[in-house]
Structure 1
Amino acid sequence: MADTNHTVVYFSEQVVVLCSCGLSFVGSTLIILTYIMWPDLRTTPRKLLVFLSVSDWLSAVSYAFGVWRVFHTDSLDCVVQGAVSTFANTSSFFWTVAIAVYLYVFIVRSNQRAADSLVLFFHLISWGVPLIITVAAVCLKKIGYDASEVSVGWCWVRIQAPDRVLWMLLTGKIWEFLAYLTLPVLYILIKRHIHIAHAALSEYRPILANRPAYQSFSSMADVKLTLIPIIFIILRIWSTVRFILLLAGSPVRQHPVLVTLHGIGNTSQGAANCIMFVLFTQPVRTRLCRSLCCCCSKCRANSAHRPLQGQDLSTQRDGDSSSRAQADR
């Protein structure tokens, strides 16, 4: 393969993307832990968010391994890493759309039973379809070294495969394009329904003392509904741009800035979800701060008691030694 068909991954790009993987790993873990720690926050949307975080967690780990190694051949660990990242990344697309569909049915259609009945269907699609595609790609030897042409060091679809464009579409890009179209439409419909409902109730809603707090909560929810599709598109668009440039045969796809943005975007979904649904969610943020404060206070209390306990033991030993001396006398 010619050198022109190989994108060089610089050390600075590795460091930046590895940091992004680390943040996404921590963010996904934090979402999962908060769901486990507080049972009263275990709503169905947050449960779906946990499943999305599992996919993002796998993506962060597999991408970090790929960026750290920067593969150059179709080795066994390259195929394994490419298979895991392909499955996790595709599953993340499905779970992201599944959350939007659930919220649309629950809020716009006002049918919680129908929304809850879709959860099993979400599992079958969001885990099953990526698994089938990944197994088929591995069995047909389509996963392997891709020369970082549409990646940043990690393995994906083999660049030497004659039908690589088809498999790039099947193992991610077609689902990415569908998410670009589906997410904005669903969240716009949800926002429109909420605004219409608020306008209809505003004439009859009494002026209460806690109305500013309600307005703050409503505005924060409105901001989240706006940011979810925007952040998804901003993070994922760079990989799409490089894919289109690859199809066009443009060398711009190898530009370091574009490669870095691609690496950050593909590995930051877990961190972005943590910021929106943990740090920017007041009940979760409040409990998390309380837990951290309690842990810090316990650590300080333990560190304060340890010297005292040491002094007590030394005092007790001195007393024992003096009593033995008196007995010998």
Structure 2
Amino acid sequence: MAVDNATVVYFSEQVVILISCGLSFLGSLLIICTYILWPDLRSTPRKLLVFLSVSDFLSASSYAYGVWMVFKSDSVDCVVQGAISTFANTCSFFWTVAIAIYLYIFLVKSNRRLADSWVLYFHVVSWGIPLGITIAAVALGRIGYDASEVSVGWCWVRIQATDHVLWILLTGKIWEFLAYLILPILYILIKKHIHRAHAALSEYRPILARNPQSQSPSSMADLKLTFIPIIFISLRIWSTIRFLLMLVNSPVRQNPVLVTLHGIGNTFQGAANCIMFVLFTQPIRSRLMTLLCFCCHPSRDTAGDGHAPSQRGQGAETPFLAEDTP
């Protein structure tokens, strides 16, 4: 494939995608900071979310650099940026699936000890496989300038490599396809289990009692179970569409709207997780508001001191699906 046929990345696209990178950067940082700031919210599911946020943080940072530079050829910083984004993006896929597996074992199998025992394996797989793939790709010279065929300005798999399609699959797409398959299945199974055993799950009773409208299946936990795979697929599908269009050499892959959606989808995951598990989680949202008020009015320190203890211990026992967890 000729590099002369490179996809043009317009300035307006750069601006939009850089804003998306910035929001994801801040969102991932906020998830990490809330975990550090409030020890009583350090449940295992939220710890896994922190590891996912670290991946999204690295991914957003490397993508932002690539979009800012809009590489035109192979260079040292192109390879470095491509390697970091390849590693971080692949880690993000693995940690997203790891969280779903943990919740499935925790809720459906009702075995917290087994779920916690899997965390070590999650680390080995979610960091180890992406690292091994990235090292192999760099060592074989497969990371570099890709003419924005499957990216938006940043570097990934060298488009001039004869086996570039294989490496695109190995360094991202095959794991993305597996996530498309695994996430909906696991979350559907979890939703079905919660619906069948709703009355027996004591950790969900306070949620239902707190909000009269949540007596229906559309409780906060239920909504999050629905939105997690939907948001993931909605963000990632645009890069998949461009990849498939590249395989058939369709000029539609260079459509500015599709390119922009691809850029936003690849860079907005950290911001989406922050919205779901920080801004839409009432206790954390309340603590952030209290902290913000304290920063604006330091004399009002009693509110901040009195809020955290009232919720201590809740998040440590249950996953982060429900509104008052973690």
TM-score (norm 2): 0.87
Letter in 2 for 1:186: L
Offset of 1:216 from its aligned partner?
A: 8.4
CA contact (8 A) 2:105 2:114 kept: yes
The 2-side partners of 1:300 and 1:164 are apart by 59
Structure 2 residues not aligned, in runs of 5+: 302-326
Alignment of 1:221-236 (within 5 A): 221-236=221-236
Larger radius of gyration between Structure 1 and Structure 2: 1
In 2, distance between residues paired with 1:173 and 1:185? 19
How much has 1:215 moved relative to structure 2?
3.7
Letter in 1 for 2:181: L
Task: Give the Cα–Cα distance (whole angstroms) in 2 for the partners of residues 80 and 201 of structure 1.
Answer: 48
- Listed as ranges, the matches of 1:17-36 within 5 Å are 17-36=17-36
What's the % identity of the aligned pairs?
Answer: 77
Match in the other structure for 1:310: none
Aligned pairs for 1:178-189 (under 5 A) are 178-189=178-189
Instruction: Return the alpha-carbon distance in structure 1 between the equivalents of residues 264 and 78 of structure 2.
Output: 20
List, as ranges, runs of 4+ consecutive aligned residues in structure 1 with deviation greater than 3 Å. Answer: 1-4, 199-202, 208-211, 213-218
How far the C-alpha of 1:299 sits from its partner, in A, is 9.0
Instruction: Give the AA of the match of 2:31.
Output: I
TM-score of the aligned structures, taking structure 1 as reference length? 0.86
Q: Distance in 2 between matches of 1:36 and 1:17?
A: 29
**Does residue 15 in structure 1 map to residue 19 in structure 2?**
no
One-letter amino acid of the structure 2 residue matched with residue 99 of structure 1:
I
Higher helix share: 1
Partner of 1:145: 145
For residues 35-69 of structure 1, the C-alpha deviation after alignment (integer angstroms, 9 at most, x for no partner) is: 00000000000000000000000000000000000
Question: Residues 95-121 of structure 1: CA distance to partner in whole angstroms, max 9, x if unpaired?
Answer: 000000000000000000000000000
How far 1:228 sits from its partner (Å)?
0.1
Q: How many angstroms does 1:198 deviate by? A: 1.8
Aligned to 2:260: 260
Equivalent position of 2:190 in the other structure: 190
Task: For residue 2 of structure 1, report the CA deviation from its aligned partner.
Answer: 4.2
Report the CA distance between 1:227 and its aligned residue: 0.1
Measured after TM superposition, the shift of residue 5 of structure 1 is 2.2
CA–CA separation in structure 1 for the residues paired with 2:232 and 2:252: 23
Q: Does 1:37 align with 2:37?
A: yes
Q: What is residue 287 of structure 2 aligned with on the other side?
A: 287
Code of the residue aligned with 1:40 in structure 2: it is D
CA gap 1:12/1:244 in 2 versus in 1, 3 angstroms: same
Task: Give the secondary-structure state (helix, strand or coil) at the position aligned to 2:118.
Answer: helix
Matches within 5 A, 1:73-152: 73-152=73-152
Deviations 1:80-105 (A, max 9, x none): 00000000000000000000000000
Paired with 2:189 and 2:224, the residues of 1 have a C-alpha distance of: 14
* Counterpart residue number, 1:244: 244
Q: 1:296 to 1:185 in 2, by over 3 A?
A: same
Whole-Å Cα distance in 1 between the matches of residues 101 and 217 of structure 2? Answer: 22
Give matches, 1:53-72, under 5 Å: 53-72=53-72
> 1:209/1:23 Cα in 2 relative to 1: closer, same or farther (>3 Å)?
closer
| Structure 1 gap segments, 5+ residues each | 302-329
Q: Can you list the C-alpha shifts for 1:251-300, whole angstroms capped at 9, x where unaligned?
A: 00000000000000000000000000000001111111100010011299
